[in-house]
Structure 1
Amino acid sequence: MRALQRIAAVLCLLVVSACATAPPRNPLADWHASPNHEPRRARMIVIHHTAMRSAEGALLVLQTRNSGGRVSAHYLIGEDGRRYQLVAEQERAWHAGSSRWAGMDDINSISIGIELDNDGNEPFSDAQIESLLVLLADLTDRLGIQPHLVVGHGDVAPTKKDDPSVHFPWQRVAQAGYGLWPRELRAPVPAGFDAWAALRLVGYDLRDPEAALAAFHRHFRGREDREWLEGDAELLYDLQLQLMELPSASGT
């Protein structure tokens, strides 16, 4: 009798376990499972600075809430290069807010967020950038993220954010293979070139053109002018050519 009771208990536990791991099913429809699916995966990486005084303080905020509500990121990198993971990569972290890039909304759902311990008014340390490059190499390779889709928070939310600030070394990161950067040798800009169209092609949301232009200048020129500058057309034309030369993405 005791043996039968033990068997019954084990079977009960197995049933409960199976129910706990079963995919959620809507009671309003009949379930007809299909094998043609996969977990949501990240398609881009968004870099931030914490605008705080220490990694410890940033960790506290990222694990609780701030004055604006709950916020999180997948990774935090300290000034000393130490890496912290706060959210699983397959999960949606709350780091980008209302944002848009290359026509895609809800960037939180398609991105990995990386916070850098920096107050926004100082250069980023060599240890921190080297640690970031290691992480970028891992994420782009392992998750299949196209390396050029590494952008800043200010790029995807130009009307509200300016991180990772004019101090972030985008050129150094691009030389390591992540993100876009204009080449030294550039083709002449053709007659009739539309700089605004190129800015949109790069990925910027033009619903507020001045904010988009300031974000472009912050990323590629280390300043935040809200008007066109001499040389912008040459930079944008080269970036446009680089994007056109990229192989087509597959499996997206």
Structure 2
Amino acid sequence: MSYAPRYPDATFVESPNFDARPDPQDISLLVIHAISLPPESFGGPYVRQLFQGKLDAGAHPYFADIASLQVSAHFFVRRDGAVEQFVDCGMRAWHAGKSSFAGRERCNDFSIGIELEGSDNQPFADAQYSALVALTAWLLQEYPGLSPQRIVGHEHIAPGRKTDPGPYFDWARFRQELSDNRF
């Protein structure tokens, strides 16, 4: 079976921060994250720049500690619902860090990462839920190893180290909308 590496409703913006998966057929976890740069600020170019390895350390005091990080995600969903893709789904994006799911370490090896523009302190936008549901439904169709039971937050695979997508992400809403829109 051949899989679509790129989501047709996303703008592709290539990141250098990826490598080959140990097993390209093993895509069996979806990890939802939240990010804003600078923290609590939305709409700027900084997340894109971070994932492209082009973040200017001098553009904001917070960036001095993160500008040299080599991180990425497969997808980034902005507040207005626009989706950007940074890494082909068949490749390993560097989004989960030290992590484990169901006793299996190194979640980057077998997961797809979706970053939502947001934080632990603010609700997510309606447009983001709509875009996330559409993207997730597409991923579930394209990758049979994924299932609604294998969709988690970064906080679930790196407890104590990560808190995103945080308390304002409405898991019940997301799961209900996904269920309503899958068929």
Distance 1:68 1:101, change over 3 A: farther
Distance 1:133 1:123, change over 3 A: same
1:84 aligns with 2:73: no
1:176 Cα offset (Å): 2.9
User: Residues of 1 paired with 2:24 and 2:109: CA distance?
Assistant: 12
- One-letter code of the match for 1:89? C
Contact 1:75 1:83 in 2 (8 A): yes
Give the total of aligned pairs. 141
**Deviations for 1:1-35, whole angstroms, at most 9, x for unmatched residues?**
xxxxxxxxxxxxxxxxxxxxxxxxxxxxxxxxxxx
- One-letter code of the match for 1:72? S
1:62 aligns with 2:51: yes
Query: Within 5 A, what are the aligned runs for 1:157-236?
Result: 157-177=158-178
Contact 1:99 1:106 in 2 (8 A): yes
1:39 Cα offset (Å): 3.1
Structure of larger gyration radius: 1
Contact 1:41 1:143 in 2 (8 A): no
Of all paired residues, the percent bearing the same amino acid is: 37
Contact 2:24 2:91 in 1 (8 A): no
Matching residue of 2:116: 116
Point out the structure with the larger strand share.
2
**Deviations for 1:138-157, whole angstroms, at most 9, x for unmatched residues?**
00111111121110000000
Once structures 1 and 2 are overlaid, which stretch shifts more, 73-82 or 113-122?
A: 113-122
Question: Normalising to structure 2: TM-score of the pair?
Answer: 0.72
Matching residue of 1:125: 125
1:54 Cα offset (Å): 2.8
Q: Structure 1: which 5+ runs fail to align?
A: 1-37, 179-252
Q: Structure 2: which 5+ runs fail to align?
A: 1-22, 56-65
User: Residues of 2 paired with 1:78 and 1:113: CA distance?
Assistant: 14
1:156 aligns with 2:157: yes
Point out the structure with the larger helix share.
1
User: Residues of 1 paired with 2:147 and 2:119: CA distance?
Assistant: 29
1:121 Cα offset (Å): 1.3
- One-letter code of the match for 1:51? S
Question: Normalising to structure 1: TM-score of the pair?
Answer: 0.53
User: Residues of 1 paired with 2:129 and 2:177: CA distance?
Assistant: 11
Matching residue of 2:14: none
- One-letter code of the match for 1:131? A
